[in-house]
Each structure stands twice: as C-alpha cells, then as structure tokens.
A and B are shown apart, each in its own frame.
Chain A
Amino acid sequence: MLEKALKGSPRYWGTLIGLGLLMLLGMGFWLYQLVHGLVITGMSRDVSWGFYIAQFTYLVGVAASAVMLVLPYYFHHYKQFAKMIILGEFLAIAAVSMCMGFIVVDLGQPQRMLNVMINATPHSMLFWDMCVLMGYLFLNILVGWTSLQAFKNDMAPPHWCKVLAIVSVIWAFSIHTVTAFLIAGLPGRHYFLTAVMAARFLASAFCAGPAILLLLTLLVRKLTGFDPGDKALKRLAVIITYAMCVNVFLYLCELFTAFYSNMPGHIAPIRFLFSGLDGHYELVPFMWTAVVLGLGCLVILIPTSIREKTPALVLGLIMLVISTWIDKGLALMIGGFTPNPFETVTSYLPTVPELMVSVMIFALGGIILTVLWKIAIEVRVEVEGGNLSMVPPPAESE
C-alpha cells in the first residue's frame, strides 16, 4: 500500500514540500541547539522543563484521540466509526512520533538516550513512559496497517488484530496515566502534586485529541470528498463535548482544593497563572484567553442545535483546542515550576530557536500524518470505487 504515498496531486506534493521546508528550517535551529546546547532555550535552573516537554504532554493527549473511536467501535460495536478509526490510529502514530521527538530535543545529551534502556530503572516514571509510548506506537502501526490491508483485500482483519485493538484501548489510558504520573508524584511542585492529575490528563486528552481529529477530518472531507459519515462526526462531537465538560470540572476541583484549603503552596502557582506573582504577569493574558475560549466553546458545543451546524462546530472545536493547548501545552509546565523551590519567581517564555525546533517536530508529525492519511483514504477510494458512503445499514449500528 506504500506506493499510494508516491503518487498524488500537486496539492498533496505541495503540502509535503511545504512541511519539508518547514522541517528543514527547524532542523537548522536544532543543529544550532546541538552545537551550543540547551542554552538557546528560555529554560533555567528553576524552570528546567519548558516548551518541549509541554508539547510532549499535550501531544500524548492527541495520540489518545483514537481511543474515543476504537473504544465505542470494539467495545460497544458502534459501527458508524468504521471509517474514521483508521484516521484516528494514524493520527496517533503521528502524535506519538512527535512526542518522542520532543523528548529527544529536550535531552541535554541525546546521544546517550539509550541509557534509559541500558540502565532500565523501574522506579523512574520516565522509564515506564518510554515503554508505554513505544508500545502504543507499535500497537497503532500494527493494528492500523493490518486492518487497512485487510480492508483492501476485502477480508476480515485477523483475530489477533482485534485483540491488539482492544489492548491498544487499555494501553492508551496507560500513556496518559504514566505521563501524568511523571509529574504528579513530585514533592515541592505544588501545581503537579495532585491526585487528579492523571484524570485531568485523560479528560483533556479525550476532548483535545478528538477535536483535532474531527477538525482534520472535516478538512479532509472538504478537500477530498472522503466522507466518514455524518453520524460518526456528530457522535464524535458529542464525545468531545462531554470530555471538555469533565476537563473543566476537574480544573474547578483543583481551584477549590487550592483556595478552600488556603494552603499557600497550592495557591501560589494558580495565583501566578491567573493574576501574576512578584511582578511577573507573563502567563496572565494566556490563562484568561484559555478561560474565555474554554467556557465559550462549551456554550457552542453543549446545545445540540448549535453544535450540529458545521461552521459553529468548527469554531467551537478551534476554541477548545486553543484553550486546552494553553492549559496543557504552556501553563502546566510553567505553572509547575513557578514559584520555584525557594518560593520566588523565575520567568520563563520560550525563545525563538526553541519555537523553531518545535516547528521542526510539528512539521515532521505533519508529514507522517499527511502520508498515512493519504494511503488510508486512497485505499478507501480504491476499494469502494469512488463510492465513499459505505456506511452499514442503521439496523446494525448501536
């Protein structure tokens, strides 16, 4: 099926070349980082994890988007998701690849990264994170590719593939849980030290990941005529809405715990994020943007009448993605490290080279995603002979 990636419209090649150029540009900055070290980033003694790790934690969530399709499909036999599953699984491959990329660029000595395997240390969460990420990548490649191949040959996927798909559902929960545990067990980092961290990771993942998937699917539908079915899209939008409600609820739980308990350590990072601390207001505008967009997207997504109008849905999803990105892809890391262990504030904002290195990895993810989705959609078109609406009869569904 790989040959499907080699032939395409000028638009397909244009996308790939554009992303490739962005990646090359970012790669230049990465080389600069390799020569000079992480000194080119805005990180410091006190804020020792920054934009890179924040993108990693955000993208772990995107990787989970497949679960919101695979779970209803395999556990509840919700057949409407049949056509979208492959897109979700391939998005997961791209997202996990980006996660790994962000970890590699964040290392001070990337050439030593195999030390994590050579000196496997089970009491370190980073070791387990490596295991679950690699496992999830492997599962998605195997399940995605095999089921697509089976579909192409007009055969049922092998039984083991179904078993692995079910394993991948449970596994997806592990990638969030372990990534949350990475930060949730650290004494002295008040913003991280919360039992709902893993639950918050799951909630934000299950809204942000599928939201990106849905936006991309709508884009693809517009560009290629590939239609995963209206019912599937609507159902996914409902799932996203529920997950976002849970996400907002869990954040409010954090606020209650911090402010009702009146524990200074727990209040300080939240105060830093929303109203500034010691004359540092860097994140205040971002946080309030996140609040407005987060609540605004609920106003759009909760009422069915508004949610089912495509332009409103797209707007709501974009608002949701920006809001959750600010929360997890920016504030979670910076808030965790501010105030520092001395309860003073060291400011952090990503530098231009840091952002450009991130662009390299996002472009890499974009290339992986474009190629994989191209293959998936071409196979669909080939098998269904241009008839892109092979949705099972309603009687079979639900």
Chain B
Amino acid sequence: MKSNRREFLKLAAVSAMGVGAARLGFLGDAPAFAGPLPTAADFEKGFKAKHWGMAVFSAKFTPELIEKCRTACHTEHNVPDIPGKKQIKWFWGASYHEAFPTEQGQFLSEDVEHREFPLLCNHCEQPMCVRVCPTQATFQRPDGIVMMDFHRCIGCRYCMAGCPFGARSFNFQDPRPFIHNFNPHYPTRMRGVVEKCDFCAERLAIGKLPVCVEAAGGALVFGDLGDENSDIRKVLREHFAIRRKPDAGTSPSVYYIL
C-alpha cells in the first residue's frame, strides 16, 4: 500500500513538471508560480502535532503586514477577489471592536484602539461548524485543524450560521473568473460551496509552515499547543493572550497577544 502511494506520488511529480511547463493560460492569468508538485520525499518531512495553534503578536501588525499576509494566503489558495458583501475571506484585518465585540472595550489605549487585527478561522477545539454540518463536509482532524471538503459541501450554509467568528465564506457565484494569480498547486472551488482557512494543512503535510506565518516574519507563531516545549507554548507562557469570543464556548486555537 505504502509503495503504491509512493509510486503514485512519483508519477504525480513527473506529470506536474509537464503541467509546470505548459502555462495554464486557460485558467485565467499566467500562474504566479508553478514549481514542481511535492514528491513522496516531501511528504516524509510533514509536520505533526497534537493540536495546532497560532499566537498573534498583534502589536507587530500594521495594515501593510496584514495586507502582505492576506495576499500571500489568498494567492496560495486561489481565493477569488470578489468585491462587496459576497466577498470571500480567508485572512483579513479588522478593528478591535470588530475582532473582540464582546469585550465592549471603552477607554482603550490609543495603540490598541487604532490597531488592525489579523483574523482567520480560529480552528476551535469545539467547532460549532463541525457540529452543525449535515454532511461532514466540515470536519475536524485529530490534530485540531477544521477542514472543508469542497466536494461534499451541499451549500446549505449552516456552518456560516454556526460560526460565531464570521470565518466562513460562500461562493455565491463561480469564483474562477475572480482569481487573478492562479496557483496550480491548490484546487479552485466551484460555485455553491463554503470555504475557509485550513491552517495550510496541505503545506504542513510537506513540512512547510502556513503561508501567512511565513509572510508575517515572526508576528505569527505557529505550533503544537499540545507540546509544552513548543515555541507557541513558550510564547503563551511569557505573554498575556486573549481569544476571540470565549463566551461562545468554542475554544479557539488562535491566541492574540495585545
């Protein structure tokens, strides 16, 4: 079984070189980057964790840095650029009041008041979206990542009603015409399905950090919350951090250091 998979991945790698050579112009603009597909050797380097989590050094985030992370994430995952209230958001920025509405902050420090906070799916320990999904298209992996199966989703949008963080987007229309930098390494979606940040599960599988973490240059710390010696646990031991809407009871895995 294992060798079969290895053979398959080798084949996939060979065919990817072919794909990389032929520019996929028919799928929109020329691909932003089209390196070879990951090989079996890459998958052996995959990261593993008991429970993935993220710490956000919010003070380090400027609107420019958020935009840099957002662009990196949205390009990597072929997130369409749709204007207006039907937009798709995996990684975005918001004010303190939008990010932490239940904190009801008054007389905030100037600095926090005007800070922009990066938002993404919280990959909750008790994800409401998973509980309500009628087809298990949204499911939680043993390592805590809340995943979306775009091919099983029926588009009922119950998960959007369930998520207290507004972290999910729905493809009200065909997203493909709105993808400007097509990345052939990640699937595009079809209309009528929900999508969201998946903590770059596809990158963790080949031993790479999430793309926003790479782009943030130290402002985002990603790691295993289940390992007390991990970097993220060290950061959380040393700094006071809050989570969004703790009263919703979903127990987010994204921590904000103010």
Residues of A within 8 A of B (CB): 36-39, 41, 43-46, 48-49, 103, 106-110, 112-113, 115-116, 118-119, 121, 123-127, 130, 182-183, 186-189, 264-265, 336-337, 340-344, 346
Query: Are A39 and B152 in touch, CB under 8 angstroms?
Result: no
Contacts of A46 in B (CB 8 A): 85, 166
A selection of 5 A-B contacts at a CB cut-off of 8 Å is A37-B173, A46-B85, A109-B193, A116-B135, A346-B85
| B104 adjacent to chain A (CB < 8 Å) | yes
Query: Are A36 and B173 in touch, CB under 8 angstroms?
Result: yes
Contacts of B173 in A (CB 8 A): 36-39
Contacts of B102 in A (CB 8 A): 265
Contacts of B155 in A (CB 8 A): 38, 107-110, 112
| B162-217 interface (Cβ within 8 A of A) | 162-166, 169-174, 190-194
Tell which of B132, B161, B169, B171 touches A49, judged by Cβ atoms closer than 8 Å. Answer: B161
**Minimum C-beta distance from A46 to chain B (A):** 7
Query: Are A108 and B170 in touch, CB under 8 angstroms?
Result: yes
Query: Are B152 and A342 in touch, CB under 8 angstroms?
Result: no
| B157 adjacent to chain A (CB < 8 Å) | yes
Query: Are A187 and B250 in touch, CB under 8 angstroms?
Result: yes
A125 to B128, CA, bound (A): 12
Q: Residue on A with the closest CB to B175? A: A37
Query: Are A126 and B134 in touch, CB under 8 angstroms?
Result: yes
Query: Are A124 and B131 in touch, CB under 8 angstroms?
Result: yes
Query: Are B157 and A48 in touch, CB under 8 angstroms?
Result: yes
**Minimum C-beta distance from B205 to chain A (A):** 24
Among B45-53, B86-94, B233-241, which stretch is in contact with chain A? B86-94
Q: Residue on B with the closest CB to A187? A: B248
Query: Are B165 and A116 in touch, CB under 8 angstroms?
Result: no
| B160 adjacent to chain A (CB < 8 Å) | yes
Produce 1/0 per residue, B120-162, CB < 8 A to A. 0000000010011111110000000000000011111110111
A126 to B114, CA, bound (A): 41
A-B interface contact total, Cβ < 8 Å: 145
Residues of B within 8 A of A (CB): 84-89, 94, 97-99, 101-102, 104, 128, 131-137, 152-158, 160-166, 169-174, 190-194, 245, 247-250
A44 to B102, CA, bound (A): 23
Query: Are A48 and B161 in touch, CB under 8 angstroms?
Result: yes
**Minimum C-beta distance from A130 to chain B (A):** 8
A48 to B155, CA, bound (A): 10
Contacts of B190 in A (CB 8 A): 109
Query: Are A187 and B249 in touch, CB under 8 angstroms?
Result: yes
Contacts of A108 in B (CB 8 A): 153-157, 170-172, 191-194
Query: Are B85 and A45 in touch, CB under 8 angstroms?
Result: yes
The 6 nearest A-B residue pairs measured at CB: A108-B155, A188-B164, A108-B192, A341-B166, A343-B101, A44-B85
Q: Residue on A with the closest CB to B151? A: A112
Query: Are A107 and B192 in touch, CB under 8 angstroms?
Result: yes
Tell which of A48, A112, A337 touches B170, judged by Cβ atoms closer than 8 Å. Answer: A48
A43 to B170, CA, bound (A): 10
Query: Are A119 and B191 in touch, CB under 8 angstroms?
Result: no
Query: Are B172 and A37 in touch, CB under 8 angstroms?
Result: yes
A110 to B94, CA, bound (A): 34
Knowing A112-B154, A187-B250 are in contact, say whether A342-B94 is a contact too (CB < 8 A): yes
Contacts of A123 in B (CB 8 A): 131
Contacts of A337 in B (CB 8 A): 161
Q: A342-B101, A343-B101 are in contact. List 14 more A-B contacts (CB 8 A).
A: A39-B173, A45-B170, A48-B160, A106-B156, A107-B155, A107-B156, A108-B170, A109-B193, A115-B154, A121-B133, A126-B132, A188-B163, A188-B245, A343-B97
Query: Are A119 and B152 in touch, CB under 8 angstroms?
Result: yes
Contacts of B128 in A (CB 8 A): 186-188
Q: Residue on B with the closest CB to A333? A: B161
A108 to B87, CA, bound (A): 16
Query: Are B192 and A45 in touch, CB under 8 angstroms?
Result: no
**Minimum C-beta distance from A61 to chain B (A):** 20
**Minimum C-beta distance from A10 to chain B (A):** 43
Query: Are A342 and B157 in touch, CB under 8 angstroms?
Result: no
Tell which of B85, B104, B157 touches A264, judged by Cβ atoms closer than 8 Å. Answer: B104
A265 to B249, CA, bound (A): 15
A79 to B44, CA, bound (A): 75
**Minimum C-beta distance from B45 to chain A (A):** 33
A373 to B210, CA, bound (A): 61
Contacts of B174 in A (CB 8 A): 37
A115 to B166, CA, bound (A): 25
Tell which of A37, A44, A103, A186 touches B161, judged by Cβ atoms closer than 8 Å. Answer: A186
**Minimum C-beta distance from A99 to chain B (A):** 14
A127 to B156, CA, bound (A): 12
Query: Are A43 and B172 in touch, CB under 8 angstroms?
Result: yes
Knowing A36-B173, A187-B250, A265-B102 are in contact, say whether A124-B133 is a contact too (CB < 8 A): yes
Query: Are B153 and A109 in touch, CB under 8 angstroms?
Result: yes
Task: Tell which of B87, B101, B194 has the most Cβ of chain A within 10 Å.
Answer: B101
**Minimum C-beta distance from B134 to chain A (A):** 4
Knowing A46-B166, A48-B161 are in contact, say whether A119-B135 is a contact too (CB < 8 A): yes
Tell which of B97, B135, B163 touches A115, judged by Cβ atoms closer than 8 Å. Answer: B135
A341 to B132, CA, bound (A): 17
Query: Are A112 and B152 in touch, CB under 8 angstroms?
Result: yes
Task: Tell which of A113, A183, A188, A340 has the most Cβ of chain B within 10 Å.
Answer: A188
**Minimum C-beta distance from A98 to chain B (A):** 18
Contacts of A346 in B (CB 8 A): 85
